[in-house]
């Protein structure tokens, strides 16, 4: 076992646990467990609460994904609750609007929201108390008010200062034109009304009823593309999680349109490599980064809506294919360019577990902070900008098309051993999510860190810099000489502060399968806790 400093202790419990990036969300989920709900009920309650107190990372206008372990059937189930592009969204239409690339924010960056239907699908199939009961804590805080935390204050200040933020956002969040200070009481009565409508009428009202009418009328007034027909056509899908061996664990992620297979590729590549003597050693980080480069080259080339993919995603994690990709890794030098393999044929994450053995891995997002920066008038629905991930090149795998799901960065995960959950984990962080999955699972499986230590350890993310090149951004809580040694291997490295929110907010629970004890970890980079019972 590798020793590592620890900022917080793990949370230990036997009857239930919820780990979330805000303490009120974790407590809401735990209250549902104590009221007789199960892990699904608790996860939905925590997710709804985050839309009230952490609206800069999730909302009813976004998407949701889940991996659920159902103790009764002893099986894993995957839920894809992501929305699709409007039927009027064609590449030619966007070119006619003057766009050479997809807009990052605004009315034309929005896809159909999937969250409400995803919640209801999970609650109906696996929940115990029903969607209405899970929404009660969020409704109470939205109506009665809550104290603004530092994360929300900071996010409101940034978004409110952007010149192109839509007037609907200002009217909803800053009706008096002033950012509320930390500790001020904030209420969101319009969101409470929408939640109450969902509680009374279910997702039917959101996609085919009164709320759908409000959304469609709003888009018509604002010149957007989403129509009542687009909302009516929406549905979530139950999908089969994909898995790969990592040590003596089996790690599961969701299939495309998520980037889950990208994380699995990285696990498969790293599992057979000779890592260093610690998770933050030069050898370990170098090999992880090289595996990331290979997996992301394939992601950029192949991943999109599964109905539009030209490659079976299971081919990307086939052992023979991974062996050919692994052979490209130089253990001593950084690759300067990586080609895809060849074939012939801003976000919240939370997890919940109950005493009966049910486990939920849930991730939800509006994509970039407050998403599109657009809020449906008089509803509190903050709309995602997930459409910004599409590409306006018809030859690209993730090219925009009517009714198409874009490639999604959102990836919940769960690990099994001997057919039972051993760890549930996830994080926000866009492209960094798969990279954080690799780092945290490696720290736990290969080096014996507990879940809190693994979440807290200094984290890195590899990606493009402002000049278009590549670099590693790493928190500065690393061993002496590490940055220099990575640079000597050919990596471009920059350091950032020791607890950088850019590294994402991770949450996780591990399970002692012998004693029946849950150990929860929550990221100090956010305002969350792992609340146990």
Q: What is the pLDDT of residues 107-166, one digit of tens each?
A: 999 999 999 999 999 999 999 999 999 999 999 999 999 999 999 999 999 999 998 899
Annotated active-site residue 347? The verdict is yes
| pLDDT value at residue 55 | 95
> For every one of its 533 residues, what pLDDT tens digit does the chain have, with 9 covering 90 and above?
566 678 889 999 999 999 999 999 999 999 999 999 999 999 999 999 999 999 998 999 999 999 999 999 999 999 999 999 999 999 999 999 999 999 999 999 999 999 999 999 999 999 999 999 999 999 999 999 999 999 999 999 999 999 889 999 999 999 999 999 999 999 999 999 999 999 999 999 999 999 999 999 999 999 999 999 999 999 999 999 999 999 999 999 999 999 999 999 999 999 999 999 999 999 999 999 999 999 999 999 999 999 999 899 999 999 999 999 999 999 999 988 775 554 333 688 999 999 999 999 999 999 888 999 999 999 999 999 999 999 999 999 999 999 999 999 999 999 999 999 999 999 998 889 999 999 999 999 999 999 999 999 999 999 887 777 789 999 999 999 999 999 999 999 999 988 998 899 999 999 999 999 999 999 999 999 999 99
Sign of CA dihedral 233, 169, 371, 359: negative
| pLDDT value at residue 216 | 98
Q: Which residues pair with 134 in a beta bridge?
A: none
Q: Which domains does the chain have, with CATH numbers?
A: 20-66+76-237+369-389 (no CATH), 239-332+410-524 (1.10.246.130)
| pLDDT value at residue 435 | 95
CB count within 10 Å of CB 90 equals 17
Q: Which residues contact 130 (CB under 8 A, 6 or more apart)?
A: 41, 123
HSE of 469 in the Cβ direction (CA atoms, 13 Å)?
Answer: 10
| pLDDT value at residue 2 | 60
The helix/strand/coil state of 511 is strand
Structure tokens that stand for 197 in this block: 């409508």
Residues 86, 346: Cα–Cα separation, whole Å: 23
DSSP character at residue 503: G
Residues 56, 159: Cα–Cα separation, whole Å: 9
CA 78, 82, 87 angle in degrees (round to 5)?
140
| pLDDT value at residue 343 | 38
Q: Do 192 and 142 form a contact (C-beta atoms < 8 A)?
A: yes
Structure tokens that stand for 348 in this block: 């919240």
Report the length, in residues, of the chain: 533
Residues 80, 64: Cα–Cα separation, whole Å: 7
Residues 137, 481: Cα–Cα separation, whole Å: 49
Q: Do 403 and 387 form a contact (C-beta atoms < 8 A)?
A: no
| pLDDT value at residue 429 | 86
pTM: 0.95
Q: Do 390 and 399 form a contact (C-beta atoms < 8 A)?
A: yes
Q: Do 18 and 42 form a contact (C-beta atoms < 8 A)?
A: yes
Look at residues 388, 324, 462, 383 and name the one whose alpha carbon lies nearest to residue 194: 383
- Measured in degrees and rounded to the nearest 5, phi and psi for residue 175 equal -60, -25
Residues 477, 280: Cα–Cα separation, whole Å: 10
HSE of 404 in the Cβ direction (CA atoms, 13 Å)?
Answer: 24
Q: Do 437 and 427 form a contact (C-beta atoms < 8 A)?
A: yes
Q: What is the 3-state secondary structure (H, E, C) of 245-263?
A: EECCEEEEECCCCECHHHH
Tokens 């807290």, residue? 456
Residues 372, 386: Cα–Cα separation, whole Å: 8
Structure tokens that stand for 139 in this block: 């409704």
Tell the burial category of 233 from Cβ atoms under 10 Å away from its Cβ (0-12, 13-18, 19+).
Answer: middle
Q: What is the 3-state secondary structure (H, E, C) of 164-206?
A: CCCHHHHHHHCCCCCCCCCCCEECCHHHHHHHHHHHHHCCHHH
- Residue of 347, 427, 442, 510 marked catalytic: 347
Residues 453, 3: Cα–Cα separation, whole Å: 9
Separation of first and last alpha carbons in the chain: 28
């Amino acid at each position: 076992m590798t020793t590592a400093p620890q900022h917080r202790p793990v949370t230990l419990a036997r009857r239930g646990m919820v780990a979330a990036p805000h303490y009120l969300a974790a407590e809401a989920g735990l209250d549902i467990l104590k009221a007789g709900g199960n892990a699904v009920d608790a996860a939905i309650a925590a997710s709804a609460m985050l839309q009230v107190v952490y609206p800069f990372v999730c909302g009813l206008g976004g998407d949701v994904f889940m991996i659920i372990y159902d103790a009764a059937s002893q099986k894993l189930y995957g839920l894809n609750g992501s929305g699709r592009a409007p039927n009027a969204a064609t590449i030619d239409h966007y070119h006619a609007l003057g766009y050479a690339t997809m807009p990052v924010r605004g009315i034309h960056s929005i896809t159909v929201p999937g969250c409400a239907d995803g919640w209801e699908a999970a609650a109906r199939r696996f929940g115990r108390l029903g969607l209405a009961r899970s929404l009660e804590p969020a409704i109470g805080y939205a109506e009665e008010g809550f104290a603004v935390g530092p994360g929300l204050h900071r996010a409101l200040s940034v978004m409110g200062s952007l010149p192109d933020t839509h007037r609907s956002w200002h009217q909803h969040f800053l009706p008096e034109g002033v950012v509320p200070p930390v500790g001020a009481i904030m209420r969101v009565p319009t969101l409470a009304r929408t939640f109450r409508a969902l509680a009374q009428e279910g997702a039917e009202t959101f996609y085919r009823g009164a709320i759908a009418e409000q959304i469609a009328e709003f888009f018509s007034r604002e010149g957007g593309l989403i129509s009542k027909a687009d909302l009516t056509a929406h549905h979530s899908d139950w999908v089969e999680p994909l898995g790969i061996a990592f040590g003596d664990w089996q790690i599961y992620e969701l299939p495309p349109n998520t980037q889950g297979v990208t994380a699995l590729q990285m696990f498969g590549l790293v599992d057979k490599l000779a890592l260093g003597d610690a998770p933050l050693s030069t050898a370990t980080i170098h090999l992880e980064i090289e595996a990331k480069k290979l997996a992301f080259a394939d992601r950029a080339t192949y991943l999109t809506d599964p109905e539009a993919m030209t490659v079976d995603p299971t081919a990307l994690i086939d052992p023979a294919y991974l062996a050919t990709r692994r052979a490209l890794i130089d253990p001593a030098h950084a690759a300067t360019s990586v080609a895809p393999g060849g074939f012939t044929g801003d976000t919240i994450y939370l997890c919940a577990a109950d005493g009966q053995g049910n486990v939920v891995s849930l991730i939800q997002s509006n994509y970039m902070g407050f998403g599109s920066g657009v809020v449906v008038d008089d509803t509190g629905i903050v709309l995602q900008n997930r459409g910004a991930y599409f590409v306006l090149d018809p030859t690209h795998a993730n090219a925009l098309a009517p009714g198409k799901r874009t490639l999604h960065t959102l990836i919940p995960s769960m690990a099994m051993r001997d057919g039972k959950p051993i760890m549930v984990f996830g994080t926000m962080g866009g492209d960094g999510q798969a990279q954080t999955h690799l780092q945290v699972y490696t720290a736990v499986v290969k080096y014996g860190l507990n879940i809190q230590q693994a979440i807290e350890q200094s984290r890195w993310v590899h990606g493009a810099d402002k000049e278009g090149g590549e670099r590693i951004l790493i928190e500065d809580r690393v061993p002496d000489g590490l940055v220099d040694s990575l640079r000597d291997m050919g990596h471009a490295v920059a350091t950032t502060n020791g607890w950088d929110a850019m590294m994402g907010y991770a949450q996780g629970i591990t399970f002692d399968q012998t004693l029946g004890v849950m150990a929860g970890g929550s990221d100090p980079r956010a305002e969350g806790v792992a609340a146990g019972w």
